[in-house]
Amino acid sequence: MRALRDRGHDVRVLCTDTYLDVESPEDTGADVHRSLHWYWRDHQWPRLSLGARLAVERYDRDVLAMHVRDFAPDAIAFFAMGGLPMSLITKNRLPAIGVVHDDWLVYGPREDQWHRLVPRRRRRAHGVWLFVSGFTRDRALDAGWSLATTDVVPAGVEPAFRRPRPSPPWSWSLLFVGRLEERKGGGVALAALEQLPGQARLTVAGAALIDAGTRVRVLGSVAHTDLPYAYAAADVVIAPSLVEEPFGLVALEAMALGRPVVATARGGAAEYLRDGVNALVVEPDDPAGVAAAVRRLADDPALRTRLRHGGIATAKEHTAERFHARVEAALADAVRGARVGSPPPDAGG
């Protein structure tokens, strides 16, 4: 949204009433309205009564209608709607685009407790839908969504990360970015650490949801603007996720800063990770494989240099500016009605 404002557009943000741990009200700027109710609370999906579900549905639709009347937008961009009423999308009649960076089109209908009352409800949305990966798009379509126009637009690396740092002398410094939890490969990372020399240390830029041990430094939640410093201090970034990632921006950010990556290549990550070219790819749930890959990097400076060059080249193909330009173009197409199918009806719903 900041990028669209920088390009001269008037943007209003309507989102939920939840703040992230690393976010302050000043971060989001003006015309941000934290008004929407949703089904998610404190990393859980509490079950609501029928009346409470109906109240969420009616309230959010009324709030959106109020902002449409007040702001009179030319188009709406739907981002990360999982946990919000799906009717905000399916009942929308304004020119619109969707931007999908995870599986919220899959889990959103499941967690929308009003939507679930009609299991065979049609999942249809007009507009242009941009997916972070072909994998994510396939998942949404397999879940039964009917979307007139789709495109794959990979996530982009911000300029602050596209400043490769000099390679430090190898010091057995490993970095894990994100919450240290099982599905993200937290257990794999800790087990791999136990198979490395005693001087090896693991830094976690995120919260630890499992016992981290004495050789692990947990930074807790780190502001995105501070992450380049964490990457720069590492010899290698490990991302041994057990799940199929929608894309995996951590690996790209590490590459952009010139740091070698050891990662699983599942889901969207498989669309840009190349073993021996820009990363060392390991199998899921394989601590020994992660440890062996880290040892290879420790013993082979030429390999580290090759991955550094390959990673920087890959990151240059995935810039935030390219992503923002595609979102802007999709919004312009939606306003002009230049998409597959008929132009959207007049505002309403």
The CATH code of domain 159-317 reads 3.40.50.2000
Residue corresponding to tokens 């015309």? 31
pLDDT value of residue 119? 67
Q: Are 285 and 188 in contact (CB under 8 A)?
A: yes
Full DSSP string of 136-164: HHHHHHHTTEEEEEEEE----B-GGG-SP
Q: List the structure tokens of 112.
A: 């929308």
Q: Are 318 and 153 in contact (CB under 8 A)?
A: no
Q: Kindly state the percentage of the chain with pLDDT values over 90.
A: 82
Closest CA to 192 of 171, 174, 219: 174
| The pLDDT of residue 23 | 55
Domain extent listing, the chain:
2-156+321-336, 159-317
Low-confidence ranges of the chain (pLDDT < 50): 22, 338-349
pLDDT of 63 reads 97
pLDDT tens by residue, 148-163: 899 999 999 999 999 9
Q: What is the pLDDT of residue 342?
A: 46
**Predicted local distance difference test score (pLDDT) of residue 346:** 38
2-156+321-336 and 159-317 have identical folds? yes
Structure confidence at residue 25 (pLDDT): 54
pLDDT at 344: 43
pLDDT for the residue numbered 235:
98
Contact by Cβ (8 Å): 116, 95:
no
Q: Where are the alpha helices (DSSP H) in the chain?
A: 2-6, 50-71, 87-90, 104-111, 134-142, 186-194, 227-232, 249-256, 287-299, 301-316, 320-336
- State in Å, rounded, how far the first CA of the chain is from the last one: 24
pLDDT in tens, 216-265: 999 998 998 999 999 999 999 999 999 999 999 999 999 999 999 999 99
- As its CATH architecture, domain 2-156+321-336 has 3-Layer(aba) Sandwich (3.40)
Q: What is the DSSP letter of 47?
A: -
Which pLDDT score, from 0 to 100, does residue 338 have? 41
